[in-house]
Amino acid sequence: MSLLIREMQAGDVPSVYKLQEMLAFQKWSEAQILAEVSLPCAVTKVAYDGGLLVGYAIFHVIADEAELLSIAVDPTRQREGIAKAIYAETLSELKSRKIQSFFLEVRVRNTVAQQFYQSLGFVETYRRKRYYADGEDAVIMKGIL
C-alpha cells in the first residue's frame, strides 16, 4: 500500500460523494462536500492508493477545538489502517494550529465506530437524545491532544 494523503480539492468531490453514497451513513450532496473544500474553518483530507480514492475526512476548526464531521474508508479497504493514517495526518496539522481538543457525534448503535474512536483516544462525554432525524441518540466523544 502506497497511501497518499493530501488536502481535498474540487476535483476529488465526485469520488468523495460516491464513497459517501456507497456507505450510506451521511446524506451530503456534492455541493455540500464542495463547499467544505473552500470553507476557512474546514480541514479536509483525502487518501489515495494507486490513484484510487480509498478514504476521506472532514473536520471543522473553531478557536482551539476541532470537530470531526466525517471520516470514511472504502468498504473493501477497511481495517487496513487507512482511517488511522488520515486521522494521524490531520492531527499533525491541527496540532500546529494549537488545537486543544476534538469532538464528534456518532450513532449510539454504531459500536464499531465508537471502538475505532476509542482506539484513537476519544472518550464518551455524554449523549444527545434523539439527535438524528430517525430519532436515534448520538454519543458525543471527546479527544484531548
On whether the CB atoms of residues 104 and 57 are closer than 8 A, the answer is no
Give CA–CA dist 101/118, Å, rounded: 14
For residue 52, list its beta bridge partners.
Answer: 49
Active site residue 105: yes
Active-site residue (options: 67, 105, 124, 136): 105
Residue 117 falls in the annotated catalytic set: yes
Question: Residue 33: is it exposed, middle or buried by C-beta count within 10 angstroms (0-12/13-18/19+)?
Answer: buried
- Annotated catalytic residues are 105, 117
